[in-house]
Amino acid sequence: MSHALERRVLVITMHDDPGIDTRAALFAEISDLVHAYKPASVVIVLDQPAPTQSALSVVRRVHRLCSSLDLVVSVATRSAPVRRLLAAGADTEDDIRLVIHARADTAIATATALTAAA
């Protein structure tokens, strides 16, 4: 995992599948970053060719965390089936909507625009 802060948008890139054994540690690391940076929004880039259920589990947990902090979360993944899975499970009445993109640059630009508009 790597991260960068771009115009108050925390961009987190998951390069590898976290696996079942390390997904809790990865979520804890991301949670620490969110609390430390207090970003305006968060973008998660799934850089794996085919993200697994472990990666999606981390995304869902980050979405719940950020929703509780009133932060918009965007996800970028090249995988159309993963985008559909995320979209199908993203809308709940208690959460802020998860924004899903095919490209990382689009996700970052959209999050930056939302931040500037706020």
**Chain segment 22-51, per-residue pLDDT in tens:** 999 999 999 999 999 999 999 999 998 888
- CA 82 to each of CA 70, 88, 89, 96: distance values in angstroms, whole numbers, following the listed order: 24, 10, 11, 19
Q: Which of 15, 91, 22 minimizes the C-alpha distance to 60?
A: 91
Q: Which of 24, 87, 35 minimizes the C-alpha distance to 57?
A: 24
Q: How confident is the model at residue 91 (pLDDT cuts 50, 70, 90)?
A: low
Residue of 98 and 94 predicted with greater confidence = 98
pLDDT at 96 over 90: no
Average pLDDT, the chain: 90
- CA 11 to each of CA 58, 73, 88, 110: distance values in angstroms, whole numbers, following the listed order: 15, 10, 23, 12
